[in-house]
Structure 1
Amino acid sequence: MIEFGRLVRAEWTKFRTVRGWVLGTVAAVVVTLLLGLFVASNSHASCSNGTVDIECPTPPAGPDGQPVRDKFYFVHQPLAGDGAITVRVTSMTGIITYPPPDHDEIVPGLVEWAKAGVIVKDGTAQGSRYVALMVTAEHGVRMQHDFTHDTGGRPGAVSADAPRWLRLTRVGDTLTGAESADGASWTRVGTAPLAGAAEIGLFVTSPSDLTVHGGVGGGTATARLAKATATFDNIGLTGTAPGGEWLRDDVGHVLGPDGTPHHPGGVEVAGGVMTVSGNGDMAPLVGESGPGVQLVLIGLVIGLIVVIVVAARTVSTEIRRGLISVTLLASPRRARVLAAKAVVLGAVTFVAGTAAAALVIPLAWNVLRDNGFRQPGLPVATIARVATEAGLLVAGTALLALGLGVLLRRGLAAVGVAVVAVVLPYLAAVIGGLPTAAAEWLLRLTPAAAFAIQQVAPEYAHVLANYTPGSGYYPLPAWGGLAVMAGYVALALGLASARLRRSDA
């Protein structure tokens, strides 16, 4: 152990006294920082109301502070304590409106996550807590609460021949959702908490119809306005004032240039039957709150190339000049020599990568907010996590280049192979216009899988969005991507150690 410590000190002394290696490492940090700030400063967000430019609104925040979409048509009454609502849903239809220049083209249809059902909500303010039991167009009965939570019930669509009964009951601070096919035999779907005075009633909403087109930069997503309409009868309500008046709110509606509601919902009442229409969604805001970590860490790609060059040269220079023979003569246990080089290089590049990410993420985020983007800042814990994982990505890339340098004995060859293995798959997957499936396989099977450290927003099964690498969503979690990188590093260093034991240069 003492001998290994001496080797590490010797390698550290060697590294810090070679000006090119030190300057190269510093250059990687500077490139990551400056390029991230440059891209952020040239990214702008703008919004308009008709032909008038306005400041982009800040999206509403849910109970945990996360940006959410909270727009639906709400027919409701006040609920102070315990109570329940029971309804039968007999139909659910919808329309999809194409944007200009085909704005007059309206086709019938429902988006798969169109929703209609019963809800208890903590007021009508956007982002307030809620518990809802609903039928959906393609995902059967669901119980959802507070935007991010989703529990599945019985599958199947609703129709006049196959109606669905829904019941939401509050006892104390707990709401229980139950469903039935006939109104007699009930099955519990789930429970969720919601305390205090609230509003109880019916709702309908529908997310936009989303179409994803492949292309450079991960493709584009086109959203078409979708509107759902549901029919409710056998409406039973307890816990509210007897004979109370139904209140009507188009929660989250916006006003058009002429001051009228833009794409409003509505309700028609006839003989105890309510027909409610609405559009929007109650869900986390995914893919619409502005650029993510992937944008502000764009400089990391160039920084990695600089690190690859430095790492490959730390060993190829010694091999080319025959200096490694002196090192191996002084320390015959050659695997330890390689291990000492790896410890020093890994530590230096880990610190450099972590520092670069920790600096650029909050600084670039502030620039983006000044340029009109309204996404909230990342929590300190998230920044720390991403920065640490970025350091691991940089260190892993450096160690891979080190192993390749020993194997190939030529710095240029090692640099080329490392760039092809780490950088090119990432660029091909994110901006190369590959089909999503091909891009995801590249980010599963190559060292570029470690770029998954850039994903900070979760993917929600109940939210329609463009979940592709180009949009910042990766097929593996961060730890999984780093594990793939670690496997390649272990293989490269293992083969390099075997070759080093067989020859001096």
Structure 2
Amino acid sequence: MHQTRDGFLQTLHAEWTKLRTVPRWMTAMAATALLPVLVAVLAGISSVRHDDPPVPIGPGGEPVSDSFYFVHRSLAGDGSITVAVSGLEDKIPEGPGDLRSGIVPWAKAGLIIKDGTRQGSSYAAIMVTSANGVRMQADYTEDSPGLPGPVSTAAPRWLRLERTGHTVAGYDSADGVQWTLVGAVRLDALGPTAQGGLFVASPPSVDGTGGTRSSVSTAAFGVPRTLGDWTGADGAASGGASADWTGEQIGPESPTFAGYPQNTSGSFTRSAAGLTVTGAGDLAPAVRETLPTGGDVGEILTGTFAALIAAIVVGTLFVTAEYRSGLIRLTLSASPGRVRVLIAKAIVIATATFVAGLAGTAVAAPLGEHLARANGVYLFPASAATELRVQLGTAALLAAASILALAVGTILRHGAGAVTVVTLAMVLPRMLIAVPFLPAGIANWLTRLTPTAAFAVQQTLVPYRQVASIYTPYEGYYPLAPWAGLAVLVAYAAVTLAIAAFLLHRRDV
């Protein structure tokens, strides 16, 4: 047992000695570490966005969309507001000046109590949506369902918000008599005097070509009924009359606001029956499509592709160079088992690549982020745990790729052919998903079933169920969880290494 262990350690040491004594292999290892740093520096200094408007930041520190048409009054202290909604119509442009009716699933209209009109401020809202029923939402990320189904004149929905201290409760009703609590939230940031009233928001419509179009929605409200210390625009105490409401577009210049379709704008009108409000925008977490100028850690680590090529080359040459020179016969004859040699090579190349990759990403990520922020680029936030996962995962990706290259090199016994095969398997799918108009189904298939799935380990962006958007690998959203994506590459490497071990054991050198 000890002899077997000692023999393997000797084989391991011999393979490590080979790696560190061949200058071009160590140069490739250095490149694996340095290329991510170099590209991160270039990425950090290449974009200058000091003139961009500030990104709205929600109470939780996340970027948000906070643009909508707001018909509001001031509410001092506790109070409530109740209204009926009898219609919500969405319009989507089909061309210049061609506005047609459609369905924007998360278009919303309802009641909101907000800590002022500043973008990113705390709020609670209850609303009807075009395709997701009644919802109670708060502080951009919280979402609870209420009554299902769309609204119409024949099937209106009654909505109510009640503020008690820092708690806001939302209710819905199908008849205005029987009420159901949809949700209650505590808003610690809600000040003594808040802004409350009616709102309409209509986020961009996702079309079938992988793009979005701005949209606009119009809602029909009844006459609002208020209880508490509500004050109108003129500072006078208000009842339910519509004449003392103030209407304004929140966040018209926000980088997360797609704007109104051509020849439309936000507005509200009064009648004896109530108010009609037209608006666009959204109250939701910001995603890549709504904040296209934002960057993320994965983009900072674009140099991973260059490092990947270096790792593939050294992984392949670590075995094919011995086949080319004939040294493989001496290597195998010096060890009691051929498979032992292959395992030792895999451990050595994977360990060296992992260490080099981790050293590179540990420097590249924080350095690139610092330079990007210094140049005014907004980066989607990532927790310390997420940053660590990205760095460790990227190093593991490079290590697994080097094992895959070693295995393919053992099978083919030809350096150029093995490098070509592994590079195509790893890089070609990644190049394809970088095409903006690649159908989402194909992109998702490529990042589920090919070794490129491992790049999911660099994902830091979060999809949200209450935000209809383009969640594709091109936008930074992978179909597999980070570690699951890495596991796909590890599985390829393990299976290929097993095949290589079988062939190495069976065939002549």
Q: Is TM (by shorter chain) over 0.5?
A: yes
TM alignment of 1:212-251, pairs within 5 A? 213=209, 221-224=211-214, 226-233=215-222, 235-241=224-230, 243-244=237-238, 247-248=245-246, 250=248
TM alignment of 1:73-88, pairs within 5 A? 73-88=69-84
Which secondary structure does the structure 1 equivalent of 2:434 belong to? helix
- 2:346 pairs with one of 336, 342, 345: 342
- Further displaced range: 446-455 or 178-187: 178-187
TM alignment of 1:351-430, pairs within 5 A? 351-369=355-373, 371-375=375-379, 378-430=382-434
> Is the aligned partner of 1:61 residue 2:57?
yes
- 1:111 pairs with one of 104, 111, 121: 104
Q: Counterpart in 2 of 1:443?
A: 447
- 1:296 pairs with one of 290, 296, 300: 300
Q: Counterpart in 2 of 1:139?
A: 132
Q: Offset at 1:305?
A: 1.4
Q: Offset at 1:391?
A: 0.6
C-alpha contact 1:227 1:279 (8 A) present in aligned 2: yes
Q: What is the rounded CA distance, in whole Å, between the counterparts of 1:79 and 1:130 in structure 2? A: 13
Which secondary structure does the structure 2 equivalent of 1:387 belong to? helix
Which secondary structure does the structure 2 equivalent of 1:382 belong to? helix
CA offsets per residue over residues 450-480 of structure 1, 9 Å max, x none? 0112321111222233322222221112111
> Is the aligned partner of 1:160 residue 2:149?
no
Q: What is the rounded CA distance, in whole Å, between the counterparts of 2:186 and 2:238 in structure 1? A: 25
Q: Offset at 1:230?
A: 1.4
Q: Offset at 1:355?
A: 2.5
Q: Offset at 1:241?
A: 4.7
Q: What is the rounded CA distance, in whole Å, between the counterparts of 2:221 and 2:437 in structure 1? A: 46
TM-score by length of 2: 0.86
Are the structure 2 counterparts of residues 45 and 431 from structure 1 closer, same or farther at C-alpha, using a change threshold of 3 Å?
Answer: farther
Q: Offset at 1:279?
A: 1.6
TM alignment of 1:164-313, pairs within 5 A? 164-171=157-164, 173-195=166-188, 196=190, 197=192, 198-211=194-207, 213=209, 221-224=211-214, 226-233=215-222, 235-241=224-230, 243-244=237-238, 247-248=245-246, 250=248, 252-254=250-252, 265-271=266-272, 273-287=274-288, 288=291, 289-313=293-317
- 2:68 pairs with one of 61, 67, 72: 72
Q: What is the rounded CA distance, in whole Å, between the counterparts of 1:249 and 1:327 in structure 2? A: 81
Q: Offset at 1:318?
A: 2.1
Q: What is the rounded CA distance, in whole Å, between the counterparts of 1:161 and 1:180 in structure 2? A: 14
CA offsets per residue over residues 15-67 of structure 1, 9 Å max, x none? 11111111011123333333344355444559xxxxxxxx2111110112111
> Is the aligned partner of 1:319 residue 2:323?
yes
Where does the alignment leave 5 or more consecutive residues of structure 1 unmatched? 47-54, 215-220
Q: What is the rounded CA distance, in whole Å, between the counterparts of 2:187 and 2:253 in structure 1? A: 31
Q: What is the rounded CA distance, in whole Å, between the counterparts of 1:286 and 1:131 in structure 2? A: 20
Q: What is the rounded CA distance, in whole Å, between the counterparts of 1:414 and 1:342 in structure 2? A: 16
C-alpha contact 1:358 1:383 (8 A) present in aligned 2: no
- 2:495 pairs with one of 487, 491, 498: 491
TM-score by length of 1: 0.86
Where does the alignment leave 5 or more consecutive residues of structure 2 unmatched? 232-236
Q: Counterpart in 1 of 2:234?
A: none
Q: Give RMSD over aligned pairs.
A: 2.9
Q: Offset at 1:282?
A: 0.7
Amino acid at match of 2:227: T
C-alpha contact 2:71 2:199 (8 A) present in aligned 1: yes
Amino acid at match of 2:367: L
C-alpha contact 2:70 2:250 (8 A) present in aligned 1: no
